Amino acid sequence: MHHFARALSGLLVLFPLLAPCPGLADEHGPRESADALVAQSPGLEARVVAWRRDFHQHPELSNRETRTAGVVEKVLRELGLEVRPGIAHTGVVGVLKGGRPGPVVALRADMDALPVTEDTGLPFASVARANYAGREVGVMHACGHDAHMAILLGAAEVLSRARAQVPGTVLFVFQPAEEGAPAGEEGGAKLMLKEGVFDDPKPDAAFALHVVPQHEVGEIALRGGGVMAGSNRLQIRVRGRQTHAAYPWLGVDPVAVASRIVLALQAIPARRVDNRTATVVSFGAIHGGVRHNIIPDEVQLLGTIRHLDPEVRDDLFDKIRSTAEKIAESAGAVAEVEIPDGYPITWNDPALTERARVVLAQVVDADRLITPTPRTGAEDFAFFARETPGSYFWLGVRPPGTTLDEVAPNHSPHFLLNEDAMLIGVRAFVQLVLSETARP
């Protein structure tokens, strides 16, 4: 414990926080206010980069972000914010109460890393190891959550320095377990809401960003409506009858049945669902059998379902169940289909997102503000956006002049980001807050 405290103290020496600065004149608009506030925070970009590199070097898995939470809490307290730690196990919320009455705006960053062994060659690369699903694995911030936290800390510093002139209240929400809680545990945004993160005060709007290599540094992508897919796990247990592999007619082969189920279910989105809305059925694991010449009793299939339309979702679930069950029945086997509750569709409130588009066009050139197609990835922010109007956008981190073929995607052991994007993220959050809190 003493070692941990010394480590945190050392971080504060490395990343000193400046004293509050004088406020800006009220006549300044959101763009001028944000730019001026950032300009009046000397060394801000260096601190944001240093925070990001520290988080990157010390990643922690979902619901295990104890060191990470300690660093975040310490920095928020040094900024003079009210701090609420221990929400949803390791979540931390900083509360900034402005100098005048006004709306409540929430900004969210996710905290957890992935069970990925880093292979980037960075001088601050992770060498962390942890237990995941009963196996020892490498741990890496392969999705950019280290950058998200550093950007949000930067926004907290900028806004805390001008709190006297910020109307309303800002919640800086550091959320654990965005990638999903470990088996048998609750976690993430859903648990934070269950434990009252939006109860007092309740936000009038919530924003989140995600770094992606699909866009270059200097580009921001957002759109209204459904932007990220709803996501559900798919678990199918195919029960047959074990026999010698040389005499398959004496049993019921669940391996062959499972193979037919995989092919049939993956064809459903292409042939049995309206293709004007994106749907995906994919399998990531097949488990069954122990020996080359024994047909096993059962095979387990593990997959994912993605959907961008609630009505399509319900019909898709019905087709998956009936197709799997009938294929199994036709072969004398039994298929047990489970589709547990998952992430809802991430819905960007159209009115809030249109206001955000106007503001973000002041952060980057208007021609670099992209309207992307909806994506079949899923996002835990969806739970927050069901409780209050939300808007989620993507921050480009691909080095200018490079192509997608030259960079690794999120979740890759080779994932890199250009840190020049991070101050753009800070400015985006600050300007969104100033714009929303200035609304009557």
Of 150, 212, 236, 242, nearest to 426 by C-alpha is: 150
Of 84, 96, 89, 91, nearest to 108 by C-alpha is: 91
Residue 194 confidence (pLDDT): 98
Of 394, 399, 404, nearest to 420 by C-alpha is: 399
pLDDT averaged per 10 residues, the chain (length 440):
42 42 41 75 96 98 98 98 98 96 97 98 98 95 98 97 92 97 95 98 98 98 96 97 98 98 96 88 96 98 94 93 98 97 95 97 94 95 98 98 96 98 98 93
Q: Which CATH architecture has domain 230-338?
A: 2-Layer Sandwich (3.30)
Residue 63 confidence (pLDDT): 98
Reported as a single tens digit per residue, the pLDDT across 139-166 is 999 999 999 999 999 999 999 999 998 9
The set of catalytic residues is 343, 419
Residue 21 confidence (pLDDT): 42
- Which SS3 state, helix, strand or coil, does residue 371 take? coil
In 246-309, alpha helices (H): 254-271
Reported as a single tens digit per residue, the pLDDT across 199-225 is 999 999 999 999 999 999 999 999 999
**Structural domain boundaries in the chain:** 2-227+346-437, 230-338
Reported as a single tens digit per residue, the pLDDT across 398-416 is 999 999 999 999 999 999 9
Tokens of 100: 């005048």
What is the percentage of the chain residues whose pLDDT exceeds 90?
Answer: 86
Which pTM does this prediction carry? 0.88
Q: Give the orientation angle of helix 422-437 with respect to helix 44-57, to 10 degrees.
A: 110
d(CA 368, CA 380): 26
Of 116, 130, 175, 239, nearest to 384 by C-alpha is: 175
Residue 33 confidence (pLDDT): 67
Sign of CA dihedral 381, 386, 391, 394: positive
In 187-283, alpha helices (H): 188-194, 254-271
In 58-102, alpha helices (H): 66-78
**Domain 2-227+346-437 = CATH 3.40.630.10:** yes
Who contacts 312 (Cβ-Cβ below 8 Å, separation ≥6)? Answer: 273, 274, 277, 279
